[in-house]
Structure 1
């Protein structure tokens, strides 16, 4: 559906081919019928050629001349680099921020265990603020949040749905303050709307943490790169898929490659454990999941 939007007759045949390939990845029929984790080949015309600095290569492919376009309102509107894990997101975002010559503002969160949690003196020492500061949890910003004016960020909470300020909304920072951040919406139906974002108390929902704590921080994350899972629901014109390690959950590869609106907007960089580029990667599809989805939709 994304590929067909705005397509002309001349491109229809090419669109049909790439759409069929994307569907075979999603259905687990690429490279033959497979169930589970299978190695598949990625088309050469979407691969990024890289020899040494792979992060630099994919950033250059997705955000060319980024410094010159920092104040261009539409430049970051629908571009992103997708990776499997949060650690890779942080690494790419830090690299791009280091290349932007603008004043850096570092915001540290205030972390504490929720008062509803019953903890004794031993646990109080175990969950001291400096321990909580080190937690990197999906869905909330890190303890240390580094921002610069002009950079794109993603909102992590619903703030004002009537004005499009929802979890996943993309914005561009226009002014940084100590207690509030001014930002401009660059995605959705409210592009150009300016808003002011305060610090908020954020409680992670990660079930792997055996207690509840809250982090008082700006509900934002830099989004030159984002995890594949976080990209679900996004429609982008340019996607760079960086796989220095393969995907690890059902349908993850399909989600990544189906974010784009055209074939020319998809760029993929894959490397092995030694850092050498390759043209194959793992696709994870469990047929029983697809079968269960089909059964549920018949009712």
Structure 2
């Protein structure tokens, strides 16, 4: 870029506009086994290019912008303000004298679902009322989802909802094998039995046993064809199940309603350990 302007040699990226997007208060860099100080020092705010950045704020929550009645709009606006206060750290700490531990805040009762006997049923009934009657309604499914903090809770909720969906359950099993980067001339692979490989549950790989039904909602976990809308985190509805593939309709994104075949795919974990 110095051929355009010699002063650009001293600018980051040669003076080209670069956009960094995301909620940096929630999405921190992932450093395995790192301390809190190491994570903070690796964040974008600690980078030497941060002084050259100009911050733009998105102040309207598009996911919480709809409301049919004035009361619903008021409740959504109140919840939106509370979420922002949590992110900004302006809510009072339950233990103000504790400056070492992470602060704890009180969640108002109106933002909580209390259930002593069956919490899974309580959450599903609130988010998916009359699920069996609306299971074929794409608009009903598109407007609803349950976010979970861990994969274990996600598995419990998925299993419970799948039991509520009518129809035959289809099972798919992975074909696990061990890849030795040092070569195939040793007995390294014989140490780990197939049963052990089947029991490994990693965040970057699907479970060994996948259960789905026709009509249930699934999420694509990798980019297959971005032009056709088959991107990571795309939600889809299962239409047909075959031994080595499933036929799905896209539920979200710009390619809503298009039909695609998702085949079996070879995957390797990104975590080399």
**What is the TM-score when the length of structure 1 is the normalising length?**
0.63
Larger mean Cα displacement after TM superposition, 16-25 or 47-56: 16-25
The secondary structure found in structure 1 opposite 2:204 is: coil
Residue 51 of structure 1: CA displacement? 2.5
For the pair shown, the structure with the greater C-alpha radius of gyration is: 2
Flag structure 1 segments of 5+ consecutive residues without an equivalent. 211-299
Partner residue in 2 for 1:253: none
The secondary structure found in structure 2 opposite 1:140 is: coil
Partner residue in 2 for 1:110: 175
- Structure 2 residue corresponding to 1:70, chosen from 126, 131, 135: 135
**Per-residue CA shift, 1:198-219, capped at 9, x if unaligned?**
0000111135xx2xxxxxxxxx
Partner residue in 1 for 2:195: 130
**Structure 2 Cα separation of the partners of residues 54 and 8 of structure 1:** 28
- Structure 2 residue corresponding to 1:190, chosen from 255, 260, 269: 255
**Structure 2 Cα separation of the partners of residues 156 and 13 of structure 1:** 35
Preserved contact between residue 61 and residue 80 of structure 2 (Cα < 8 Å): no
The secondary structure found in structure 2 opposite 1:76 is: helix
Cα separation, partners in 2 of 1:201 and 1:43, compared to 1, 3 Å: same
**Per-residue CA shift, 1:215-244, capped at 9, x if unaligned?**
xxxxxxxxxxxxxxxxxxxxxxxxxxxxxx
Cα separation, partners in 2 of 1:94 and 1:189, compared to 1, 3 Å: same
Partner residue in 2 for 1:286: none
**Structure 2 Cα separation of the partners of residues 75 and 117 of structure 1:** 51
Preserved contact between residue 112 and residue 128 of structure 1 (Cα < 8 Å): no
CA-based RMSD? 2.5
**Structure 1 Cα separation of the partners of residues 133 and 211 of structure 2:** 21
Larger RCO (CA within 8 A; separation ≥ 6): 1
Is 2:233 the counterpart of 1:174? no
Flag structure 2 segments of 5+ consecutive residues without an equivalent. 1-59
Per residue, is there more strand in 1 or in 2?
A: 1
Cα separation, partners in 2 of 1:146 and 1:35, compared to 1, 3 Å: same
Per residue, is there more helix in 1 or in 2?
A: 2
Residue 163 of structure 1: CA displacement? 1.3
Partner residue in 2 for 1:41: 106
Aligned residues: 208
Residue 16 of structure 1: CA displacement? 4.9
**Structure 2 Cα separation of the partners of residues 36 and 23 of structure 1:** 21
Is 2:205 the counterpart of 1:140? yes
Partner residue in 2 for 1:92: 157
Partner residue in 1 for 2:92: 31
